[in-house]
Structure formats: C-alpha cells, structure tokens
Amino acid sequence: MKVSIIGGGGLVGSMAAYALHLGKVASHICILDANQQVAEGVALDILQGTSLVADQRVTAGTISKDIPDSHTVVITAGLRRKPEESRLDLINRNVDLFLDLLAQVKAAGLKPTTNLVVVSNPVDILTHLAVEKSGLDWRRVIGLGTQLDTARLNSHLARRLNLPATQVKALLLGEHGDSMVPIWSSATVAGLPLATWPGYSPAMEREVFEETKTAGATMIKLKGGSGFAVGVSIREVVESLLLDSRKILPVSTLQQGLYGIRDICLSVATVIGCGGAREQIEVPISPRELVALQNSAKVLKDILAQVRARLAGKPVAATPPAQPAASPAQAAAAERSVPRQAWQGR
C-alpha cells in the first residue's frame, strides 16, 4: 500500500520515510516536498537500500499525481519551532501553510477511504482544521497527538528505573503541548503497578514528565529538531492503519464526548486500524487527571477560537480574556481549572 509523505524532504518526514522503509510494510513510499530536489534526494537515498531491506517502491512525487492513489497521506510539512518558541506560538505561521496544502490535497482528488495523518504542529489544531476542511470522515483524520510524548515518557522512565523500555506502559493524553496529561494512575511495569515498583517515587514522576515536556525543545537545542523517535512514532500509527492491527494508540482525533469532551481534537486512547480511528476508549483515570484533561481541552478550544477569529479577519487578543463565570456550573468549571498544580503536585 502506498504512503505519501508531504514534507518528506524535511527532518521529520524523511525519518518517518526511513522508519517505514525499515518496517517493510508499505509497498510504496512517496516523498513530496516543496523542495523537489531534496524530495528526490531522500527518495533516492532510501531506494538505494531497498535491495538490502525490502521490495518497496520509493519515489519522489507531486500532490496532483500521487495523492489520489495513496492509502495514507502523512503531512509533516511545516515550519520548525525555534528555540524557546512554544509549539503553539507557531500557530499563525503553520495554519496558513497547512490550509493551503490541504486545499491542494483536496483538489488533487482525495479518496474518501484515504487516511490523513497530521504531524505538523500545532498538531491538535491542524488536525481539527483538517477534519473540518478535508471532506474526509473524522475517523480518517488522525493527528500524531501524544504518541511521541508517550514514547518519550516511557523511554525516559525506563532509563531512570533501569528497565526494558518496552515493558514500561504509561499514557499521556490531551494536547501535544504544555497542557498534556500523564496518566500515572494506570502506569505499569511488566503489567504491575508502577507505583509499587522498587525505586519508583512521586518525585521521579515529576522529573520524567518535565523531561518529556521539554524533550522537543531539548532536541532543537541539541541537534536542530526531533527525528528518530518521531519517525518511529509515525510508523507505529501508519503501520497500524496499513495492517489493520487495531493498536490502541494515544493519537489526536475529533472528540465525541469521552471524559465530557467534544468538538475538539486531542489525544485519547484510540483503536487504529482499517477505517482509521475505529474507536475512542475512555480508559479509567483519576479525578485529578480528569480535571487536567478537561483543562487541556479548554486550552485547545481557546486556541482554536483565536485561530478561527484570525481566519475570519477579526482582531485577535494575544491571550483570551478570562470570562466571568455566569452560572454555578461555569463557576464550578472555572474552579476546576487548576491543572498544572493538579498533576504536578503529585
């Protein structure tokens, strides 16, 4: 099956292509990039290893020619976060680029059965816009969400505990950004509760989460950006789609009411397989984690409102003004908006 990567000439896209190449599942990997020469270079470089790896076609292409027969389209085209710039500061620059790309992809003749995997940041917002504007069913539009963050969390935790990384299982849900929520209440090591593991401490939770939250910025500082881990994170999602593996992955999709959240894209545990996002799963979380997750949804809705206002040509405030609570329900909701302390104080 054919996977096209738009932005495949860049760091993230080329790493995703290489990870897919090593995974041997996609039969055709197509690299698309505004920089056609780099796209051709990446495709040729990977192609030269196929005789040692897998019988794959690896080509450079164009949106008009290669999107219509793609099983899955991955969008990694975007502008990189600068050091010290938050993911969400990239919004204005990336939204315009993304909407323009989406229009081209749609005009090329996107089949209703194509899966669209959004990686570019801010990924939850762009995923939401893709659901609204691509014409695809929401189940076909999947943002990478907290898939990479979850991989990082588990890998960092395993390193601290001196354990095999594949046996550490903790989820990160919500926004791919500062308001993401570690679900410590169900974290396990080799199937046993993390909290009972020798060497574990609540301080370790805090440190590992901080390390995870700042991992993107650390990568930018050390080597210019994330590549290897994001590449294999994308492969996990794409291969689950291609193979109908039905893996349960923390990816960003349009929320339908789980945890009381709807009308925004963010990450919850999601079954990924034939048809795209087959099911969203409400894994049990603690009341404190629920508050934090609902806050993450609110953070994203505020950003989306700013994006919409800007697109509609209205002036946008730098930060949305706090709304006075008009009803007891709103007052209660406002009182619940103390997420940072809620999950960092553990």
Residues that bind ligand NAD (CB under 6 A): 6-7, 9-13, 33-35, 38, 76-78, 80-81, 94, 97, 101, 119-121, 123, 144, 148, 176, 225-226, 230
Active site residue 176: yes
How far apart, in Å, are the Cα atoms of 6 and each of 35, 67, 286, 343? 11, 10, 39, 36
User: Helix 215-223 and helix 202-213: axis angle, to 10°?
Assistant: 50
- The residue among 39 and 161 lying less far from ligand NAD, judged by its C-beta, is 39
- What's the closest the beta carbon of residue 233 comes to ligand NAD, in angstroms? 7
Cis peptide before 122 (omega within 30 of 0): yes
**Using an 8 Å Cβ cutoff, are 179 and 339 in contact?**
yes
- What's the closest the beta carbon of residue 240 comes to ligand NAD, in angstroms? 16
Look at phi and psi of residue 259 and say left if phi exceeds 0, alpha if psi is from -120 to 50, else beta. Answer: left
The residue behind tokens 């294999």 is 232
- What's the closest the beta carbon of residue 52 comes to ligand NAD, in angstroms? 25
Selecting among 21, 128, 156, 176, the annotated active-site residue is 176
- Chain position whose Cβ is nearest to ligand NAD: 10
**Using an 8 Å Cβ cutoff, are 15 and 238 in contact?**
no
- The residue among 88 and 170 lying less far from ligand NAD, judged by its C-beta, is 88
β-pairing, 57-60 vs 247-256, is unpaired
- What's the closest the beta carbon of residue 198 comes to ligand NAD, in angstroms? 32
- The residue among 38 and 309 lying less far from ligand NAD, judged by its C-beta, is 38
Please list the active-site residues: 176
